[in-house]
Chain A
Amino acid sequence: MSLLRAWTTLLWLSFRRLLWSGSTLMVLLPFTACALFLIRRGFWKEANLFETFNDFSLFMMFVFASFVVPICAVAYATASIGGDREDRTLLFLLVRPVPRVLIFFAKFIATLPLVLGLVMGAFYLYCRLGGDIGRAAYPLYLPAIFYMSIAYVSLFHFFAVSFRHSTIIALIYALFMELLLGNMPGIVKRVAINYYGRSMMYAAGVPHGLDRPEAEWFEPISATTAALALVGITLAALLVALVVFQRREYTDLT
């Protein structure tokens, strides 16, 4: 019982510190920029629904899912443990009688409502701004956005427990590696999370008018396989992060 009290305290502390951190301000910028773009673009006014659906889907795929979602995940997921590590306040947690596994899960779970809340909330808002085609796109792309968000959060937690300046490394990964690798021809793109997310989005969108990508440039896998891959990445990153955090001596704290 006392362990549960300690854990919920840590969960609440982590959530509260993340919510009122610079990360929130940082992620609001790209979210706001996307909203302003959608208002200016005025998808709801378009007469050609097929073409509009395609444009809206590509925006969601290449700007929102490939750029804004990872940025949001970087901001919160690396700050949850990485922030404590950089501020060296992690020490105050590591010398308490709370198993490291539970410290890690408190940090991870505190991050999820923020990332998922913002991403899902913003996605809902953007779809509303898209009018009828937005309302049609919402249920189609929601699963991909959800799985991608969780996979990024897990991966960036792994970065946070493994590297001292995890935010910088995760940003470099999100901005360059994901975009670069995700758009490489051939099989290399399969190491990028956004490849699986986009595969799910194509699988959902193509039957409703989304243009199929050229095979030599992007060959999507089935939605089920992509979803399983994202779940696999999530679990593997979590497991490795957990093992690293459990065993690691943080000599940089004092």
Chain B
Amino acid sequence: MLLTFDQVTKFYGPVIGVNNISCRIGPGITGLFGANGAGKSTLMKLASGQLRPSQGEVKVGEHRAWSTEAKRHFGYVPDLNSFYEEMTCLDFVYVMARLYGLKRSDARRRTAEVIEEVGMADRSGRKLAGCSHGMRQRIKLAQALINDPPILLLDEPLSGIDPGGRREISRLLVAQGEKGKTILISSHILGETESLTDSVLIIARGRIVASGTLSEIRAKLEDRPLTVEIRSPQSRRLAALLVDEPELRNIELRPTGLIVQTRNPLRFFTFINDLVAKNGIEIEQLQTLDGGADAVFNYLQQGSR
């Protein structure tokens, strides 16, 4: 099932939350990344029918996201830490199941299944007020899975979960994605869910500034500046030779080597290969300092300003 944003704009009074966003999110795991205040939560609220777009249309399958019918087709993990605190984990998920109109027996069976899936079976009798943040995150996920929806909207689902729990939840999400579900995961830390996602949407200042797989995005950004650390015992000589490279933006001499910034990474790597071979310079280590996903994200964010 598709989640569609068609020229969606949302205003909060005079402030714009998201600005003319159009995209179709299909089966698999899509990451939605952006800094705090970038518009991720607004997008999630629009998708989950909590907000109506000021302009454009958000659709869950064929239904407008605001409609009651659309709500049968998605599960939502909110980025809030509020529950019916007096309830046990089991009771809470059971009540949520009943709110989908499940019969008592079906609700009980389904509750037991999802509680097991999120790894809370041995702690399901615990009151929510006494649960850790990680446990509460799991219960939020359990209530989102309760009606086995084709679309999952997960707002910061891994925040506050320990590394072991994160691996478990990640496995669960990957399994859901492999079943053909459409999963949209928002996060402000790209590295947190980078390994899970098939494709990403990067949002900054209410606009989608990049979409596709991370490698596609990186490829599109080949001409973006790249910072490289070069460790060499002949760093002064190397610096002198590098000055001739026209695409170089900056060279910084450090006790351990050089930090260089280039406008054209592909050309730079060819150039330094030739330089080292021709001049017999010893290189101990050469590594990019900002080639990871977070660097891409930071770069895009700066670009949107």
Contact = CB atoms under 8 A, between A and B. Distances in A.
Nearest to B84: A89
B98 A6 contact: yes
Interface stretch (A92-100, A114-122, A174-182, A188-196): A92-100
A171 interface: no
Interface in B70-116: 71-72, 74, 76, 78-80, 82-84, 86, 95-96, 98-103
B68 to A, nearest CB: 5
A9 interface: yes
Interface string A26-55: 000000000000000000000000000000
A98 B68 contact: yes
B49 interface: yes
A95 B102 CA distance: 16
Contact of B50 (A9, A13, A89, A91): A91
A10 B99 contact: yes
A253 B80 contact: yes
Contacts of A5: 98, 101-103
B207 interface: no
B49 A95 contact: yes
A216 interface: no
Interface in B29-84: 41, 45, 48-52, 68-69, 71-72, 74, 76, 78-80, 82-84
Given A97-B72, A254-B41, A91 B78 contact: yes
Given A13-B95, A250-B50, A97 B82 contact: no
A253 B79 CA distance: 10
Nearest to A95: B76
B212 to A, nearest CB: 28
A249 B52 contact: yes
Interface residues of B, number: 31
Interface residues of A, number: 29
A254 B40 CA distance: 12
A244 B182 CA distance: 32
Given A9-B98, A96-B71, A98-B68, A91 B80 contact: yes
Interface string A239-253: 000000000011101
A91 B98 CA distance: 16
Is chain B's interface secondary structure helix, strand, loop, or mixed overall?
loop
Interface centre among B68, B74, B79, B103 (most CB of A within 10 A): B68
Contacts of B12: 251
Interface centre among B12, B50, B51 (most CB of A within 10 A): B50
Interface in B124-163: 143, 155
Nearest to A4: B101
A2 B106 CA distance: 12
B78 A96 contact: no
Given A13-B95, A89-B82, A6 B50 contact: no
A249 to B, nearest CB: 5
B71 A88 contact: no
B51 A251 contact: yes
Nearest to A17: B84
Contact of A6 (B80, B84, B100): B100
Interface in A80-107: 87-89, 91-100
Contacts of A97: 68-69, 71-72, 100-101
Given A6-B101, A17-B84, A251-B12, A95 B71 contact: yes
B102 A2 contact: yes
Given A5-B102, A89-B84, A249-B52, 17 more contacts: A6-B101, A9-B95, A9-B99, A10-B99, A20-B86, A88-B82, A91-B82, A95-B48, A95-B78, A96-B96, A98-B68, A99-B68, A249-B50, A249-B51, A253-B78, A253-B80, A254-B80
12 contacts: A3-B101, A5-B102, A5-B103, A6-B98, A13-B95, A92-B96, A95-B71, A96-B100, A97-B72, A99-B68, A253-B78, A254-B79
